[in-house]
């Protein structure tokens, strides 16, 4: 008899279906990164940034009253010569757009211009393709041989294109109870939208921008029937090897909805283009007639802006009403006895010394330092001093800045004093007996220091703050961890950190939190400081400079990237979509400034975002819809930049076509974000129920509405064959699992990661990759930079796939485990690990020795290649059967049964039972 999982299916309970119509609700006060943020009510669009302490507002867009952001470009400023670089060599320190504290339109852009032409019965793109040209001195033709056509060249036959016939594999019926080996041997690719080849070539990379459904349902009722969530997943500031960059005096945008011109607009003739979001016809500016790439005139459709779905604009200085924000870095360091014991301070100081010249910035870059225990210590680093001066403020109730003008100093002018301070800091506190932590007061002081300029605050904390404002008490009962009851204390204990984060956001300050602790620190509360200020959270449990070398290496590697990676300041991101679609809820770290505008005081290349969408109006007359994300920021070099991503997807009317276009990984990633929200606002068990219901509902809908021939078994279309496996993986993920001893901080951090990580990295944390390493060969290997990278096949996560004669690597995102079988081949032990026998494998080994053998080189090349593909550094644990970490390794064997959770096959039987009710 198969036991039911710790949740039951209730047909009337809403699972994660399409979102209801947006109601004006305030953002929930959940822990940063653990709650979704619905856009604020439209009537409240002016609520943010009105504080008297705000700095001067940035310039509004001068057309149509659109105030996309301080750095927003109107496109009608002074003319300057155009220039275009295919690869941007100046991106060493890019940054976000400026601040704007003015008003916002009462309606989302694109829905307020009543004079926009109504869509005709023919799709605008097709209409454009057949409309006679009436302007221009000579016949205007878009050349098929050009870099790529826009929708103006869509063949009318696309209307009759059958999506189903072109994607038979996606709809192949799979009986999940019979086909056990469903996992492909290589990573799962993103599905390709069913568009014409020309449009598909121009589409945005799925690594940057993807949708849960690559075929958009024509109506909300079709979406409701499919029982699949509609949403977008973005990685907007991703490091790109090729980024087209345009410097132009005229940034061409729709005069109605302010969409940036893109590959999916229609050119009616040389002088007019039709917006692909609101369908307004716009004039082509004279300057846009010249193509800087071909150096020809009269071919606006061949401009780089119309040939690239991802592009970056450099806005000219004429558009700036004030100087762009300088790069400002403030480090706030816990120096209590507990902090000194961990040894993190010397690692931090050495890392900053090693990388101080690589901090993104220019001649205006500023740095500052604050340390704290029961008092707050400031450091005067003013030019002309012979050594740094420590200034101690003991009144933590009414914090003040002792010498405001000399605490943030120009890095170039005061580099020697900064280096002296970093060399002496670890020794200053090595004998301290001070055990208290006034983190709240230190954050208030740091906020006062950064408010005039904005910038990045990096906070290092090693214990529960227990003194002054923001003091916390432990809420974790270790005896309750393994109980089957609901997990408590996932929401913040106080709103102090959220309120301070919102103040920071208003002054363009982002707070990044590094938590290094063996004890409970209430990350659910502390994380709010990063969640609402667009910061990041880093967590190093049980960090100790001697006892935990793997965490030390991870901290060092993460810190190096953190200090040197690209950064954008005073940024905003706006997401636009074709008329009829609307944004429902945002997920990630930010503050929602208006219905479609996210405030990002800092933006970094490692941050991901998710957006839930709904269909407000039928898309009957449309064959394609588009989505556009515009990220405006100030680079660390002081340039105002705008990075734009545009994605085009087909519209379908049949349920089969909706299923055929389902992106199973994007659906899983969006459901994970929604489940985090549900855990915080409702309960963990409710979130678990809803995830299970999502699988039941979609497979049930597929069976009832999309299958033409009914047959026994648990049936799924091939494109969703991994959906139940991914849902089971989520139920067993640290964020959502029950019945195992999971520390509260580790659970909350896992929730943060699921909401904040770009999809590719979140999927590894949900469903790790397992490889066999003792038989690596060069067959099918990649050759990258003269290195040969083996490509072993991905194995199912079951102990059935392990062999005592082998060695197996599990890549779980933040951590890797190399499990050595008891009878592992002697060749692997000696040639890769450098030991004589299985018994000689050290108990705690976190490094692969550099041996001069082909086997060692292959293994190290593969592991380092996996590590190089992500922005954070996963620690490696080499474990034997007797290792203390073996249970952690086995916990990721998702297809196997555990004490508290079903095996994959049992879970499939449970789904079938519920569907057949």
- Whether the CB-CB separation of 104 and 594 falls below 8 Å is answered with yes
For the segment 129-167, what is each residue's pLDDT rounded down to a tens digit? 333 333 333 333 333 333 334 444 443 334 334 444 444
Q: How far apart are CA 341 and CA 914, in angstroms?
A: 54
- pLDDT reported for residue 587: 97
Query: Is 305:293 a contact under the CB 8 Å cutoff?
Result: no
Q: How far is residue 531 CA from its own chain's centroid?
A: 13
DSSP state of 756: H
Distance (Å, whole) CA 574 – CA 699 = 34
Mean pLDDT within 742-769:
96
Q: How do strand 173-175 and strand 815-820 relate by DSSP bridges?
A: unpaired
Q: State the Cα–Cα distance between residues 298 and 294, nearest whole angstrom.
A: 11
Q: Which residue in 469, 559, 459, 457 sits closest to 508, CA to CA?
A: 457
Matching residue, tokens 């095996």: 903
Burial state string for 643-678 with b = 16 or more CB within 10 A and e = fewer than 16: bbbbbbbbbbebbbbbbbbbbbbbbbbbbbbbbbbb
The answer to whether 231 and 613 have CB atoms below 8 angstroms apart is yes
Confidence grade of residue 483 (pLDDT, cut at 50, 70, 90): low
CA 817 to chain CA mean position, Å: 25
Q: Residue 560: phi, psi to the nearest 5?
A: -60, -45
- Contacts of residue 558, defined as CB under 8 A and 6 or more positions apart, other chains included, come to 538, 872, 873
Q: In the prediction, which pLDDT does 93 show? A: 34
CB burial of residue 337 (10 Å; 0-12, 13-18, 19+): middle
Which residues have a Cβ under 8 Å from the Cβ of 415 and sit 6 or more positions away? 356
Q: How far out from the chain centre does Cα 7 lie?
A: 30
Q: What is the C-alpha to C-alpha distance for residues 189 and 282, in angstroms, rounded to an integer? A: 38
Reply yes or no on whether the pLDDT at 80 is more than 60: no
pLDDT at 211: 98
- Asked whether 393 and 445 are in contact (CB, 8 A), the reply is yes
DSSP state of 898: -
The answer to whether the beta carbons of residues 640 and 69 sit under 8 Å apart is no
Q: What's the average model confidence in pLDDT over 289-304?
A: 88
Give DSSP secondary structure letters for 243-312: --EEE-S---B-TTT-PBP-TT-EEEETTEEE-TTT--EEEPPGGGGEETTTTEES-GGGSHHHH-SEEE
CA distance 878 to 167: 43
* Strand 640-652 with 216-217, pairing: parallel
Weakest mean pLDDT among 20-34, 559-573, 742-756 = 20-34
Which of 223-227, 357-361, 475-479 is predicted least confidently? 475-479
Is residue 253 within 8 A of residue 260, CB to CB? The reply is yes
Q: Are the C-beta atoms of residues 507 and 447 closer than 8 Å to each other?
A: yes
What is the reported pLDDT for 15? 54
- Residue 756 neighbours by CB under 8 Å, 6+ apart: 33, 536, 537, 588, 589, 607, 608
Could you give the CA distance from residue 765 to residue 784 in angstroms, rounded to a whole number?
Answer: 26
End-to-end CA distance of the chain: 18
Q: What values do phi and psi take at 289, rounded to 5?
A: -70, -20
pLDDT at 395: 95
**Per-residue pLDDT at 146:** 32
pLDDT of the residue at 298: 86
Task: Check: CB of residue 734 under 8 Å from CB of residue 762.
Answer: no
Q: CA 694 to CA 686: how far, in whole Å?
A: 12
Dist CA 864 CA 816 (whole Å): 11
User: From residue 776, how far is each of 555, 556, 779 by CA, in Å?
Assistant: 30, 30, 9
Span 497-510, average pLDDT: 97
What local confidence, expressed as pLDDT, does residue 109 receive?
28
Strand-pair category, 376-380 with 389-393: antiparallel
The CA distance from 65 to 48, in Å, is 18
Helix (H) or strand (E) holding 645: strand 640-652
Backbone angles phi, psi at 83, to 5 degrees: -145, 155
Least confident segment among 440-449, 702-711, 752-761: 702-711
H or E segment to which residue 380 belongs: strand 376-380
pLDDT higher for 866 or 127?
866
Judged against a pLDDT cut of 70, whether residue 14 lies above it is answered with no
Q: Are 43 and 593 in contact (CB under 8 A)?
A: no
- pLDDT of the residue at 293: 80
Q: Which residues of 532-565 are buried (b: 16+ CB within 10 A; e: fewer)?
A: bbbbbbbbbbebbbeebebbbbbbebbbbebbbb
Q: Is a pLDDT exceeding 80 seen at residue 403?
A: yes
- Rounded CA gap, 599 and 650, in Å? 30
User: Between these two residues, 154 and 218, which has the higher pLDDT value?
Assistant: 218
3-class DSSP state for residue 175? strand
Q: What is the pLDDT of residue 320?
A: 66
| Helix, strand counts (H, E) of the chain | 23, 34
Structural domains for the chain: 170-190+663-767+897-916 (1.20.120.730), 197-321+569-662 (2.60.40.1670), 328-474+485-565 (3.40.50.410), 768-893 (3.40.20.10)
Which of 539 and 482 is assigned the larger pLDDT? 539
Structure tokens at 657: 């076509």
Closest listed residue to residue 265, CA positions, set 306, 224, 322, 317: 306
Average pLDDT of the residues of the chain: 84
Question: What's the token pair of residue 541?
Answer: 């449990």
Of residues 884 and 103, which shows the higher confidence score?
A: 884
Q: Residue 325 corresponds to which tokens in the numbers above?
A: 């924000």
Q: Kindly tell me if the per-residue pLDDT of 83 is higher than 70.
A: no
Mean pLDDT along residues 254-264: 97
Residues with Cβ within 8 Å of 699's Cβ and at least 6 positions away in sequence, in order, are: 714, 715, 716, 720, 723, 724, 911, 915
């Amino acid at each position: 008899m198969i036991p039911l999982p710790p949740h039951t299916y209730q047909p009337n309970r809403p699972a994660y279906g399409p979102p209801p119509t947006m109601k004006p609700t305030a953002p929930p006060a959940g822990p940063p990164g653990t709650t979704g943020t619905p856009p604020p009510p439209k009537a409240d669009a002016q609520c943010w940034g009105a504080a008297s302490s705000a700095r001067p507002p940035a310039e509004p867009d001068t057309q149509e009253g659109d105030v996309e952001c301080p750095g927003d470009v109107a496109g009608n400023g002074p003319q300057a010569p155009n220039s275009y670089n295919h690869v941007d060599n100046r991106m060493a320190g890019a940054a976000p757009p400026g601040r704007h504290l003015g008003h916002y339109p009462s309606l989302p852009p694109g829905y307020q211009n009543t004079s926009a032409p109504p869509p005709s019965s023919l799709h605008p793109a097709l209409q454009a393709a057949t409309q006679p040209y009436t302007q221009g001195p000579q016949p205007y033709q878009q050349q098929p041989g050009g870099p790529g056509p826009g929708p103006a060249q869509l063949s009318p036959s696309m209307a009759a294109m059958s999506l189903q016939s072109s994607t038979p594999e996606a709809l192949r019926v799979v009986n999940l109870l019979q086909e056990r080996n469903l996992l492909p041997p290589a990573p799962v690719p993103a599905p390709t939208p069913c568009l014409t080849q020309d449009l598909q070539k121009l589409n945005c990379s799925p690594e940057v921008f993807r949708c849960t459904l690559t075929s958009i349902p024509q109506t909300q009722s079709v979406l409701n029937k499919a029982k699949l969530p509609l949403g977008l997943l973005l990685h907007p500031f991703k490091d790109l090897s090729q980024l087209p960059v345009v410097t132009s005096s005229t940034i061409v945008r729709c005069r109605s909805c302010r969409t940036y011109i893109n590959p999916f607009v229609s050119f009616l003739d040389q002088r007019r283009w039709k917006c692909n979001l609101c369908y307004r016809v716009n004039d082509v500016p004279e300057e846009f007639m010249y193509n800087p790439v071909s150096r020809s005139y009269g071919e606006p459709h061949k401009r780089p802006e119309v040939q690239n779905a991802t592009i970056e604009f450099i806005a000219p200085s004429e558009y700036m009403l004030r100087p762009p924000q300088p790069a400002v870095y403030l480090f706030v360091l816990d120096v209590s006895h507990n902090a000194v014991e961990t040894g993190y301070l010397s690692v931090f100081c050495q890392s900053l010394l090693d990388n101080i010249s690589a901090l993104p910035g220019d001649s205006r870059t500023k740095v500052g330092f604050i340390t704290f225990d029961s008092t707050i210590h400031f450091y005067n680093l003013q030019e002309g001093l012979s050594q740094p001066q420590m200034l101690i403020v003991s009144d933590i109730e009414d914090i003040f800045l002792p010498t405001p003008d000399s605490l943030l100093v120009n890095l170039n002018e005061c580099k020697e004093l900064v280096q002296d301070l970093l060399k002496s800091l670890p020794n200053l506190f090595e004998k301290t007996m001070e055990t208290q932590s006034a983190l709240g007061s230190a954050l208030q002081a740091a906020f006062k220091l950064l408010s005039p300029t904005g910038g990045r605050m990096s906070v290092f904390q090693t214990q529960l703050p227990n003194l002054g404002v923001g003091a916390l008490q432990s809420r974790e009962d270790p005896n309750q961890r393994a109980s089957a009851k609901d997990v408590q204390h996932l929401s913040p204990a106080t709103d102090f950190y959220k309120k301070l984060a919102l103040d920071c956001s208003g002054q363009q300050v982002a707070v990044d939190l590094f938590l290094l602790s063996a004890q409970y620190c209430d990350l659910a509360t502390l994380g709010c400081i990063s969640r609402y200020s667009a910061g990041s959270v880093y967590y190093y449990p049980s960090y100790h400079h001697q006892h935990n070398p793997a965490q030390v290496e991870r901290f060092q590697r993460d810190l190096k990237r953190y200090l040197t990676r690209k950064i954008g300041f005073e940024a905003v991101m706006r997401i636009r979509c074709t008329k009829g679609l609307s944004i429902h809820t945002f997920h990630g770290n930010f503050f929602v400034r208006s219905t479609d505008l996210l405030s990002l005081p800092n933006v970094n290349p490692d941050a991901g975002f998710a957006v839930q969408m709904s269909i407000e109006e039928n898309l009957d007359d449309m064959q394609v819809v588009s989505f556009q994300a515009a990220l405006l920021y100030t680079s660390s070099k002081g340039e105002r930049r705008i990075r734009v991503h545009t994605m085009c997807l087909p519209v379908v009317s049949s349920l089969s076509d909706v299923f055929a276009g389902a992106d199973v990984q994007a659906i899983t990633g969006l459901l994970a974000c929604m489940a985090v929200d549900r855990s915080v606002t409702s309960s963990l068990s409710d979130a678990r129920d809803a995830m299970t219901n999502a699988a039941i509902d979609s497979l049930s809908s597929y069976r009832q509405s999309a299958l033409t021939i009914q047959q026994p078994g648990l049936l799924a279309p091939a494109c969703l064959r991994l959906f139940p496996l991914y849902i089971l993986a989520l139920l067993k993920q640290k964020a959502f699992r029950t019945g195992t001893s999971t520390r509260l901080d580790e659970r909350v951090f896992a929730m943060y990661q699921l909401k904040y990580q770009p999809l590719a990295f979140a999927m590894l944390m949900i469903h790790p990759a397992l490889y066999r390493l003792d038989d690596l060969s060069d067959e099918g290997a990649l050759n990258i930079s003269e290195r040969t990278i083996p490509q072993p096949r991905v194995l199912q996560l079951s102990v059935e796939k392990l062999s005592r004669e082998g060695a197996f690597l599990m890549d779980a995102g933040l951590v890797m485990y190399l499990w050595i079988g008891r009878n592992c081949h002697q060749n692997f032990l000696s040639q890769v690990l450098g030991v004589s026998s299985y018994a000689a494998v050290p108990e705690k080994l976190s490094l692969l020795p550099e041996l001069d053998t082909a086997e060692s080189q292959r293994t190290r090349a593969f592991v380092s290649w996996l590590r190089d593909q992500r922005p954070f550094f996963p620690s490696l644990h080499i474990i034997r059967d007797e290792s203390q970490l073996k249970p952690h390794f086995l916990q990721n064997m998702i297809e196997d049964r555990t004490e508290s959770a079903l095996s994959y096959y049992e879970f499939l039987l449970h789904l079938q039972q519920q569907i057949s009710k």
